[in-house]
Amino acid sequence: MRRKNSSFREKWTTVIMGLAAVLGTGCIILGLSLLPAGEAAGGQAVPRMAELVVNQGLGMGLDGADGTFYPMDMLVADRNTGFFVQIQPEAWQEVGAQPTLLISDPRETWRFAECEYWEEYALLCFDTSEQMSWEAGQYSVRVNLSRELTLDRQLVFKEMREIKILVVPVTGYYSGEIRQTGPLWEDLWEYTEKVYPVGAGDLQWIIYDGSEGNFDDKRYDLDTSLGRLRVWQQLRRLHDRADADMVIGIVRGNMRQNSTAKEAAVTGFTFGENVSVISLEDTCPQVTIAHEIGHCLSLGDEYENGTFSVSMNMPPYGMQGKDRYGLSETAEGTNPYILGGTADEWQGSGTVVYGRQYPYDVLSGEVLFRDMTSFMGLSGYQEPEYWVTTQIWEALYRELCEE
């Protein structure tokens, strides 16, 4: 179930435009953590190279063992890809020559020389619009920054399995009121494609147009836990008959926790078995879709008193809730390096995703230079608050990788 942060004021303060930089279509960015300067022949100081960072949504991972960052390397085939070279302005001035990026496989080599240096963020960007994504396989990458500074790395892009998602517009019963779900908009699905490790076409959305989404009877009262269970049971039967991996029911409005509750704070729910229900009245239903699909793939909540899946996505440090695999048992976030947001009107409750991890929007080509929180946290915020965490990306990658 996804819960809403009732303290949020239903507005989001606009992020300063200077905190984001928009890339050209298909632009690959290269990232390099700069180590202290070393000594070149003759005593001249040159920047030492560090790891090449390849970005398909999150460039740098957070190491739960010591809180340090490391370059992400779980790469998806047929997905827009960005790379970073981070190099400080004073070091960039020493590069001098025109940098080049070479990417090759056994059959072909791609060369990219068009680039732009963003001094404000100490980032060098290569324009790779000629090759936005990469087929499954192994590639050799070389970045020539100068005669003395060359970066080399082997990359492996893997295919993910396809997921068929049956989307069911629901006619729902709310404490005596019947509400029909209207037409659905296409960008409901785009957010999930941004934050999940999937390639083009791996998520297949199938809109159901039959009569079995009609629950206009009080037995299916969405304002009661029993009514929600019965709706879920009917959708589960539909799932069993359909050629789909998951079913998502879409209801028009939020639901009350129970018939006596004053506020409709339930924005989505699931009882497992790859069937979830989402409300279009949520502040950001496209994020709730990603959240509930996450539950179908064994992810846990990241808010106080939620249902946790510690082996998939450890909840933030000190957060307490129920164990997904033993609901009578208490689970708690025990890693001091996995920190949650403030869960107030300004920030969500989920694990913090730091701007210096280089969140990257693969659809717009935008590097998001700001802190965000996990989409498995509380609802109630606008889309720019939510992103994927290191834990979630890597857990879902292992879950979906065809190997």
Amino acid 43: pLDDT: 31
- In whole angstroms, what is the distance from residue 201 CA to residue 268 CA? 25
Q: In one letter, which amino acid is 280?
A: L
Give per-residue burial for 80-98: e unless 16+ CB within 10 Å, then b: bbbbbbbbeeebbebbeee
Tokens representing 36? 């202290």
Find all residues with CB under 8 Å of 237, minimum gap 6, and list them.
none
CB atoms within 10 A of CB 2: 28
Q: Can you name the CATH fold of 2-15+160-357+371-400?
A: Collagenase (Catalytic Domain) (3.40.390)
Is there a contact between 290 and 301 (Cβ–Cβ < 8 Å)? Answer: no
Band (5; pLDDT cuts 50, 70, 90): low
Q: Which residues pair with 340 in a beta bridge?
A: 351
Tokens representing 31? 């990232």
For the stretch 142-196, pLDDT in tens is 988 888 788 899 999 999 999 999 999 999 999 999 999 988 887 899 999 999 9
What percentage of residues in the chain have a pLDDT greater than 90? 61
Phi, psi of 193 (to 5 degrees): -65, -25
Amino acid 391: pLDDT: 98
Q: Whose CA is closest to 391, among 308, 299, 321?
A: 299
Find all residues with CB under 8 Å of 247, minimum gap 6, and list them.
165, 166, 167, 168, 235, 236, 238, 239, 274, 275, 276
Amino acid 2: pLDDT: 61
For the stretch 87-114, pLDDT in tens is 878 878 878 778 899 999 999 999 998 8
For the stretch 117-128, pLDDT in tens is 888 877 888 888
Domain ranges (residues) in the chain: 2-15+160-357+371-400, 27-158
DSSP letters for 178-193: EE---PPPGGGTHHHH
The answer to whether residue 226 scores a pLDDT higher than 80 is yes
SS (H, E, C) 312-349: CECCCCCCEEEECCEEEEEEECCCCCCCECCCCCCCCC
Is there a contact between 393 and 74 (Cβ–Cβ < 8 Å)? Answer: yes
Q: Which residues pair with 60 in a beta bridge?
A: 71
